[in-house]
Amino acid sequence: MASEIDGYTYIGQGYSVVPVGKHEGIAMNITTPQEMIKLMSDPQKIKETVVVTPGGTTTFVAPILYRKPAGIVTYAGTPESHLGIVGRNFRVPIVMTLQLEGVDSIPDGTPLLLECEGKLGHVYLK
């Protein structure tokens, strides 16, 4: 795992759901169904957004997968979960149970790069 890729700095790793390579997007923290519905009403924004959400069992996250977001990062859960199964079907880059290193959180609007090439997914920020 590289400490930097194309100007992005490594901030942690978690489980990769599906090996889809490197994908970039802009972080948006989503913690409520209302925030998710607001994002879903803007199809262009979804495609550029990496949804950052607390848990792998946060079921309101699932509909966003139908709209193909740039990626999803969770702080809990495993690929052997409902979110993992649906994400694998849509081949959306998902990193679950992200363990942050050197930062406490991912602020909204941060450019992210998700590297999902094996069983582990790596997250980088700019």
Q: Which residues bind other proteins (CB under 8 A)?
A: 33-34, 37, 40-41, 57, 59-60, 62-63, 65-66, 79-82, 84-86, 88-90
Which residues on neighbouring strands pair with residue 109, listed in sequence order?
none
CB of 85 to other proteins, least distance (A): 5
Q: Between residues 3 and 41, which has the closer beta carbon with respect to other proteins? A: 41
Residue partners of 117: CB distance under 8 A and separation at least 6: 16, 19, 21, 22
- CB of residue 67 to other proteins, shortest distance in Å: 9
Distance CA 114, CA 96 (A): 11
Shortest Å, Cβ 58 to other proteins = 9
Shortest spacing between CB 52 and other proteins, in angstroms: 19
Decide: 35 and 115 in contact? Cβ < 8 Å. Answer: no
Using the minimum distance from each CB to other proteins, give the nearer residue, 81 or 110: 81
Backbone angles phi and psi of 108, in degrees to 5: -55, 140
